[in-house]
Structures are given as structure tokens and as C-alpha cells.
């Protein structure tokens, strides 16, 4: 039974079926879109006897990985929080953060969200969107340099749309951010844990700013420039 499930789920076209079927669960609950895809990824992982290298986890975390992830996270922070997002807000309005606004000034809520973020956003989203969707789609398209770039664009679009609950700006910003991350994965295909750390550190900054109620400081600064 296990082998049959694995053989079926690892057929090249299944990733497309998964990506098309997953959004249908959004009619029930938007979180199910994510968990359905993640469930498929974990079924493949289970069937492979937990061969993490199938999803690009071929290297362990070491000091160099941590240092590189911190450096990349800071560069993304400067690029998005200080430049890209404030500019987008000038034209697309503010992010809809109603789903996490409750953590403002609430330390307990902040810590709980931080744990959830590291497990499901940093690790879960990277395993699903880059480790499974992007990697499997690139292999389906021919496993060439062009196929990896096309896969990066498609999965980044998919990632952006999945953040539609944050408004149009959430879709655009998430797409741009995901494409940057995807380019890193395109370069380090066997080091998904690097992306997990980058994602986690980056979101840690964002969540902390929301907790401190300082998340508008950069957009306000940009508005003053104009």
C-alpha cells in the first residue's frame, strides 16, 4: 500500500494535479489549501522512508548556513521593508493584517504566533512551495535552467495568490519575495534549510514589528519623501 501511494504521488504530473486541486479546499477554509499540499508532500516523504533529499534537504544546518541566512534575511529586509513594500503601499494601499492584528502588544500571542510561524510558514511553506512544488514542477518541465526559472515564476505566482487574504499588495509583495527566495533555491538546490532559516528570520522581523506596532514606520517614511 505504501509503495503504491508513493509510486502514484511521485509521477511527474501529480504536482500539477495537486496545485490545481489544493485551491478548491479554499472554499472550505483557506488554510486547507496549504495543508492539502503539505499533506501530499509528507505522503511522498513517508513513502520514500523519509528521504529528505527529495525536497532539497541535503545539507545539515551549520554555522555557515546560519550566517548566510542572517545576511540574506537582512538584505531582504532592507529591500522589502525599506524600499519595495513602502513603494507598493503608495499605489496599492496597506496590507490587510487583520488575521494577526491581535498580537499587537500581546506578548503571549506574539510568542505563540512565532512558534506557529517557524513550524508552518518557515519550514512548512518552504518544504511545500520550494521543496515540492518548485522542484517537482522544474523536473516535469525538463529539469533545465529555463525550466527552473519558469517553475520559480509559476510557483512564486502561486505563493503570491495564496496570500490574497492580505489584499492586492499582499499578492504582489509575496510574489516578489517568493521569486527572490526561489532564485536562491535555484542556486542552492540541495540546501532548503537555508531558505527555511531565511524565511524564519525574515518573518521574525515582520512579526516583531507588528507586535511593537512599528510596522507602518517605513511606509510613513516613504510617504514623507513623496
pLDDT score, position 1:
80
Q: Is the pLDDT of residue 66 over 60?
A: yes
Q: Is the pLDDT of residue 6 over 80?
A: yes
The average confidence (pLDDT) of the chain is: 94
Domain total in the chain:
1
Which domain covers residue 86, as residue numbers?
Answer: 59-225
pLDDT in tens, 108-136: 999 999 999 999 999 999 999 999 999 99
Q: Is the pLDDT of residue 224 over 70?
A: no
Task: With respect to residue 63, please indicate whether it lies within any of the assigned structural domains.
Answer: yes
pLDDT in tens, 13-59: 999 999 999 999 999 999 999 999 999 999 999 999 999 999 999 98
Task: With respect to residue 73, please indicate whether it lies within any of the assigned structural domains.
Answer: yes
Task: With respect to residue 196, please indicate whether it lies within any of the assigned structural domains.
Answer: yes
**Exposure pattern of 143-181 as b/e (b: 16+ CB <10 Å)?**
eeeeebbebbebbbebbbebbeebbebbbbbbbbbbbbb
Backbone angles phi, psi at 10, to 5 degrees: -95, 5
- Residue 125 CA to residue 39 CA, distance in Å, equals 12
Task: With respect to residue 203, please indicate whether it lies within any of the assigned structural domains.
Answer: yes
Task: With respect to residue 91, please indicate whether it lies within any of the assigned structural domains.
Answer: yes
Q: How confident is the model at residue 215 (pLDDT cuts 50, 70, 90)?
A: confident
pLDDT score, position 216:
79
Task: With respect to residue 49, please indicate whether it lies within any of the assigned structural domains.
Answer: no
pLDDT score, position 2:
86
- The three-state secondary structure class of 57 is strand
Amino acid at each position: 500500500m505504501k509503495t503504491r501511494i508513493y509510486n502514484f504521488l511521485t509521477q511527474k504530473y501529480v504536482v500539477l494535479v495537486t496545485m490545481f486541486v489544493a485551491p478548491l479546499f479554499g472554499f472550505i477554509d483557506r488554510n486547507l489549501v496549504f495543508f492539502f499540499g503539505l499533506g501530499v508532500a509528507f505522503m511522498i516523504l513517508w513513502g520514500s522512508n523519509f528521504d529528505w533529499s527529495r525536497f532539497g534537504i541535503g545539507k545539515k544546518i551549520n554555522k555557515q548556513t546560519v550566517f548566510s541566512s542572517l545576511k540574506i534575511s537582512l538584505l531582504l529586509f532592507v529591500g522589502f521593508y525599506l524600499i519595495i513594500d513602502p513603494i507598493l503601499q503608495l499605489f496599492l494601499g496597506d496590507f490587510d493584517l487583520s488575521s494577526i492584528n491581535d498580537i499587537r502588544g500581546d506578548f503571549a500571542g506574539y510568542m505563540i504566533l512565532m512558534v506557529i510561524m517557524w513550524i508552518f510558514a518557515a519550514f512548512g511553506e518552504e518544504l511545500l512551495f520550494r521543496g515540492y512544488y518548485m522542484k517537482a514542477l522544474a523536473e516535469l518541465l525538463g529539469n533545465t535552467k529555463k525550466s527552473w526559472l519558469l517553475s520559480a515564476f509559476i510557483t512564486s505566482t502561486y505563493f503570491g495568490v495564496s496570500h490574497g487574504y492580505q489584499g492586492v499588495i499582499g499578492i504582489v509583495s509575496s510574489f516578489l519575495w517568493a521569486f527572490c527566495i526561489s532564485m536562491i533555491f535555484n542556486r542552492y538546490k540541495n540546501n532548503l534549510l537555508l531558505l527555511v532559516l531565511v524565511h524564519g528570520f525574515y518573518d521574525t522581523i515582520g512579526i516583531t514589528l507588528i507586535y511593537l506596532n512599528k510596522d507602518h514606520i517605513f511606509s510613513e517614511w516613504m510617504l514623507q519623501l513623496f
